[in-house]
C-alpha cells in the first residue's frame, strides 16, 4: 500500500493569503513531503468555487513534477467529460515526461451542472462520454496501435488510469474499462470485479485507491476543538455547490455538521489501526488523505503532514510487512 497526500488548493476568502503566496507555500510543502518520503500526491478538480478550488489539475501537476523527484502524481479526480481527449492526452503526457513517468491519472464524471454548462458538456450523457474519452486517450497514447498519436508520448505505457466513482454503476464501468477503482467502499468491490470480468479483464487484477478521512496529531481532543469549524466549512461548501443550478439551489438540504465519526482525529498509532480496519480485505494500491482543511493554521497543517509521512506511513509499511 502506497500512502500519500490529497489536496485541492483552496484558499478561503477570509484567509488574507495572496494567491502567489498560497501556491508558493504549497509547492514548498510538497517538495518537503517528497523529501520525507511521500509515495503520492493527488489533486482534485472543481470550478467556480469562491475559495479557488483547483481548476486546472495538470497545470499544477507540472509544477509539482518539477519540484519533486519520487512521489507519484495523481488526480482524484479529473472531471473527464469536461475535457477533450486530445487536450488531456497531451497534458498528461507532458507531465509524465517532466516527472519521469510518475503520473496516476484518476477520472470521474462530476456532479455540478454549472461546470458542465461552462464547458459545453453533456451532463446527461456523462458516463457514456467518460467511456469514450478513456478509449480515445489510450489510442492517442499509442497503447492500442490504432489512430494518430500525440507527441511527446508518455513515458509509461500503459498509463495507469483510475475511475473515481461512488456507486455501483460507476464501479462496474471502471472495471469494464480496465481501470483501477478510486474508492475504498467495500460495497463497490463486487460490482467492480463484475465489471472487470464483463470487460474481459481478470477480476484478480482488481486494484483500488482512495481517500481516508483523518487528521494526525499529538493531542486529538485539543486538535478536534481547533479544526472542527474548518471541517464544517468544507462540508458546507460542498453542500452549497452541489445544489447550485438545480431546483434546490434556493433551499438546499441543511448541512448536518461534521460528526466526529466521519473523520478520525488521532495519534499515529490510532490512525494506523483505523486504516487497517477500514481497508481489511481490499486490494488497496494507494491510500491518501487530505493534506489540510481550508482555514486550519499552517502550524497544524505542517505537523499533520509531518506525522503522516514520518510516523503513519512507516507504521503502515511495518504492518504490511508483518501482517500477523
**pLDDT tens sequence across 103-160:** 999 999 999 999 999 999 999 999 999 999 999 999 999 999 888 999 999 999 999 9
Report the b/e string of 48-74 with b at 16+ CB within 10 A.
ebebbbbeebbebbbebbeebeebbbb
Does the residue 265 lie in any domain? no
Report in angstroms the alpha-carbon separations of 225 from 36, 230, 232: 28, 10, 12
Give the count of domains, the chain: 1
Does the residue 134 lie in any domain? yes
Using the predicted structure, report yes or no on whether residue 259 has a pLDDT greater than 80. no
Does the residue 274 lie in any domain? yes
Q: What is the mean pLDDT of residues 166-194?
A: 98
Global confidence as pTM: 0.96
* CA–CA dist 290, 116 (Å, integer): 26
**For the chain, percent of residues with pLDDT exceeding 70:** 98
The pLDDT of residue 252: 86
The pLDDT of residue 169: 98
Does the residue 322 lie in any domain? no
What is the per-residue DSSP string for 253-288?
PPP----GGGSEEE-HHHHHHHHHHHHTTS-EEEEE
State the cell numbers at 208: 483500488
284-290/2-7 β-pairing = parallel
Q: What is the mean pLDDT of residues 198-208?
A: 98
In sequence order, what are the residues at sequence separation of 6 or more whose Cβ sits closer than 8 angstroms to the Cβ of residue 122? 81, 116, 128, 129
Does the residue 187 lie in any domain? yes
Which domain, by its residues, includes 135?
A: 2-213+270-298
Residue with grid cell 512507516, as numbered in its chain: 314
Using the predicted structure, report yes or no on whether residue 187 has a pLDDT greater than 60. yes
Burial of 193 (0-12, 13-18, 19+ CB in 10 A): buried
Does the residue 24 lie in any domain? yes
Q: What is the mean pLDDT of residues 201-208?
A: 98
Does the residue 242 lie in any domain? no
Give me the CATH number covering residue 46: 3.20.20.30
Residues, the chain: 324
Using the predicted structure, report yes or no on whether residue 324 has a pLDDT greater than 80. no
* CA–CA dist 192, 197 (Å, integer): 9
What single-letter DSSP state applies at residue 54? Answer: -
Does the residue 153 lie in any domain? yes
**pLDDT tens sequence across 7-64:** 999 999 999 999 999 999 999 999 999 999 999 999 999 999 999 999 999 999 999 9
Report in angstroms the alpha-carbon separations of 323 from 232, 276, 280, 308, 319: 36, 10, 11, 20, 5
Amino acid at each position: 500500500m502506497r500512502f500519500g497526500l490529497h489536496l485541492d488548493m483552496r484558499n478561503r476568502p477570509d484567509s488574507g493569503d495572496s494567491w502567489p503566496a498560497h501556491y508558493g507555500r504549497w509547492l514548498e510543502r510538497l517538495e518537503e513531503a517528497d523529501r520525507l518520503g511521500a509515495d503520492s500526491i493527488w489533486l482534485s478538480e472543481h470550478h467556480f468555487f469562491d475559495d479557488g478550488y483547483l481548476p486546472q489539475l495538470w497545470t499544477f501537476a507540472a509544477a509539482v513534477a518539477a519540484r519533486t523527484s519520487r512521489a507519484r502524481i495523481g488526480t482524484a479526480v479529473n472531471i473527464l467529460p469536461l475535457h477533450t481527449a486530445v487536450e488531456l492526452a497531451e497534458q498528461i503526457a507532458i507531465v509524465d515526461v517532466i516527472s519521469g513517468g510518475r503520473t496516476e491519472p484518476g477520472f470521474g464524471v462530476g456532479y455540478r451542472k454549472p461546470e458542465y454548462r461552462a464547458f459545453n458538456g453533456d451532463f446527461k450523457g456523462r458516463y457514456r462520454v467518460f467511456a469514450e474519452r478513456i478509449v480515445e486517450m489510450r489510442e492517442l497514447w499509442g497503447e492500442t496501435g490504432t489512430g494518430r498519436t500525440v507527441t511527446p508520448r508518455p513515458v509509461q505505457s500503459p498509463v495507469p488510469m483510475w475511475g473515481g466513482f461512488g456507486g455501483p454503476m460507476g464501479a462496474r464501468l471502471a472495471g469494464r474499462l480496465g481501470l483501477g477503482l478510486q474508492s475504498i467502499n467495500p460495497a463497490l468491490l463486487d460490482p467492480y470485479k463484475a465489471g472487470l470480468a464483463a470487460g474481459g479483464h481478470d477480476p484478480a487484477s482488481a486494484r483500488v485507491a482512495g481517500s481516508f478521512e483523518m487528521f494526525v496529531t499529538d493531542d486529538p481532543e485539543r486538535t478536534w476543538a481547533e479544526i472542527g469549524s474548518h471541517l464544517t466549512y468544507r462540508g458546507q461548501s460542498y453542500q452549497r455547490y452541489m445544489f447550485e443550478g438545480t431546483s434546490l439551489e434556493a433551499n438546499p438540504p441543511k448541512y448536518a455538521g461534521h460528526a466526529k465519526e466521519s473523520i478520525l482525529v488521532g495519534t499515529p498509532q490510532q490512525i494506523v489501526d483505523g486504516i487497517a480496519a477500514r481497508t481489511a480485505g481490499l486490494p488497496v494500491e494507494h491510500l491518501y488523505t487530505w493534506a489540510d482543511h481550508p482555514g486550519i493554521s499552517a502550524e497544524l497543517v505542517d505537523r499533520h503532514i509531518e506525522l503522516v509521512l514520518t510516523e503513519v506511513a512507516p507504521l503502515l509499511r511495518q504492518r504490511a510487512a508483518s501482517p500477523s
